[in-house]
Amino acid sequence: MESNTKDSGTSEKMDLHLERSHSMANAEQVANKNTDAVELAHLGYKDELQRRFSLPSLLGLCLCLMGTWEACSASIAAALTSGGPPCLWYNFILSFLFTLAIGASLAEIASIYPTSGGQYHWVTALSPERGRKTASWLTGWISIGGQVVLLASAGFYSSFMVQGLISLGNPSYQAERWHATLIYIGILIYCAMLNIIGQKVLPTANFISGALHIFGFLAVLIALGVTSKKNTSGYVFITTFNNTNWSDGVAWIVGMISSIYPFLGYDGACHMAEELPHPRRNVPLAMIGSIVINGAMGVGYVTMLLFSAGSLERILATPYRLPFIQIYYDATHSVVGTTFMVLTSALTAIAAVAAGMTSASRTLWAFARDDATPFHSWIGNIRPMLKIPVNAVLVVFVLDLLLGLLYLVNPTASNAILSMSATGMYLSYLMPVVCMLVWGRSKLQPSDYGPFKLGKVLGIFLNLAAIIWMVVSIIFSLFPGSLPVTPENMNYSVAVLSGWIILGTVHFAFVGRKKFKMPVVAASVVEGMHEK
């Protein structure tokens, strides 16, 4: 009887302890949520989105959105024709290092101003009062265009990979443009449905995709290392190949697009800032973490790929749509093995489309929330049941659908989309970094900085390095891939980017200038807008 009483008392104490622990955990979650909501309120917004994402799931989103080794696989042709294997390898190392400088510069700003608007919010906060409204709006418009084009490029490469696999299994297959367009549209529909109907599982899907991205890299690296006949070090690091008619120096820089493209998209973390806890800390961690992990994997992958590559003429003349598929097949001599290796890249690329749609829709929604877009009330609407910007997702879907139809009309559109991905994204990165260097560092108070702070000396050095790299990259990403310039090899990214900017400028001049509500940012650098 006494024993039963003791057991009962012990059980009651354990239940009470568990109940208290559960209550404390709930209280901590509520406190964290309230803190995040208060910080967002200081930036001028109410907490409308559900914070479903964690640091691991956000890191998975950024890893897949960058998809560095897969993106490098798909875009190696430009480097191989412009300078051969050394052009790809050395430019990749440079791109990795300078991307760290860009990422650190942006992460520091994101730690101060963690909102879904990202770049255009930062320009508002850091730029001088004169011209602030125009600079902020233009940054937001370019950022949206760059993100839309970036996810379109991932969709195109996914469809090209599928066509390559069909050609691998059926040599008589003729890869038509309309086939690629239909596959592309199917991928867009799947990703839109995942972002709307499957929004509850989206964080888990991003985490799983991030794991596939890493384990797929290991599988491909081992397969190439075991099965391929290796090239000499001279082939990889010394022997150049220029088939562009540009001078060797210009050709080398034009070929940088193959190394710049794989390092785009890490800013997706900042556009999810209102959907995860502790964004001032977690957003910079996801940005820098995704660059470091992807960069390290990318260096290993590029090195192994070049040591495993066969004849450049054979690779560039591949019947399998993309040169890296030829490299895989020549290494393994197995249709099944090559199929599984390419399928890993294709699935990650599709995950990148889904992640890009998530990121772009949040930026568009934030922009519409500030009355900066046509039909801003409709685009900026949040469905109460879903707690996501459904209409913004649909607009991003339609814009990318139109880009797919553009490729159906003109086959060179895919090359323009690749170039504009780099140009648009780098322009949106460049503007806040310039503002931080020129005005922000002299006006920000120590209390304004978030947990991720570079310091004055390192910050200035990294800002300068980032600006120089981006300016050079933007200029040469607009060059045609070869000479003489013809309608077939013309770089139409200038036309696409100009059209997007002109379209937005017309709206801003006649409507947007009056309606656009600049973000109110609670930091001492913002003069005349908000008293801290």
pLDDT at 263 over 90: yes
Instruction: Note the pLDDT of residue 23.
Output: 40
* CA pair distance 330, 318, nearest whole angstrom: 11
pLDDT at 16 over 90: no
Residue 531 lies in a domain: no
Instruction: Note the pLDDT of residue 302.
Output: 98
> pLDDT class for 511, splitting at 50, 70, 90?
confident
pLDDT at 531 over 80: no
Structural domain boundaries enclosing 187: 54-515
**Mean pLDDT computed over 461-479:** 96
Instruction: Note the pLDDT of residue 11.
Output: 47
Contacts of 387 (CB under 8 A, 6+ apart): 48, 49, 50
* CA pair distance 522, 370, nearest whole angstrom: 16
Residue 490 phi, psi dihedral angles, 5° rounding: -60, 140
Instruction: Note the pLDDT of residue 520.
Output: 64
Which of 44-58, 200-214, 218-232, 505-519 is predicted with the least confidence, judged by mean pLDDT? 44-58
Place of tokens 């050709």: 251
Task: Kindly report, residue by residue over 176-214, the tens digit of the pLDDT.
Answer: 999 999 999 999 999 999 999 987 888 888 889 999 999
Residue 37 lies in a domain: no
* CA pair distance 454, 146, nearest whole angstrom: 27
**Domain count across the chain:** 1
The overall average pLDDT reported for the chain is 87
Instruction: Note the pLDDT of residue 307.
Output: 97
Burial-class residue 154 by CB neighbours within 10 Å (0-12, 13-18, 19+).
buried
Task: Kindly report, residue by residue over 102-146, the tens digit of the pLDDT.
Answer: 999 999 999 999 888 889 999 998 999 888 999 999 999 999 999
pLDDT at 29 over 60: no
The CATH number of whichever domain residue 228 belongs to comes to: 1.20.1740.10
> pLDDT class for 473, splitting at 50, 70, 90?
very high
Residue 28 lies in a domain: no
Q: Which residue has the higher pLDDT, 52 or 113?
A: 113
Residue 4 lies in a domain: no
Contacts of 30 (CB under 8 A, 6+ apart): none
Contacts of 228 (CB under 8 A, 6+ apart): 307, 308, 330, 331, 332
Place of tokens 């791109």: 95
Instruction: Note the pLDDT of residue 35.
Output: 61
> pLDDT class for 66, splitting at 50, 70, 90?
very high
pLDDT at 424 over 90: yes
Q: pTM score, two decimals?
A: 0.88
Q: In a 3-state reduction of DSSP, which class is residue 87?
A: helix
Residue 380 lies in a domain: yes
* CA pair distance 475, 286, nearest whole angstrom: 29
Task: Kindly report, residue by residue over 278-296, the tens digit of the pLDDT.
Answer: 899 999 999 999 999 999 9
Cβ of 4: how many Cβ atoms within 10 Å? 8
Query: If residue 16 lies in a helix (H) or strand (E), which one and from where to where?
Result: helix 2-42
> pLDDT class for 415, splitting at 50, 70, 90?
confident
* CA pair distance 240, 269, nearest whole angstrom: 37
| % pLDDT > 90, the chain | 67
Residue 42 lies in a domain: no
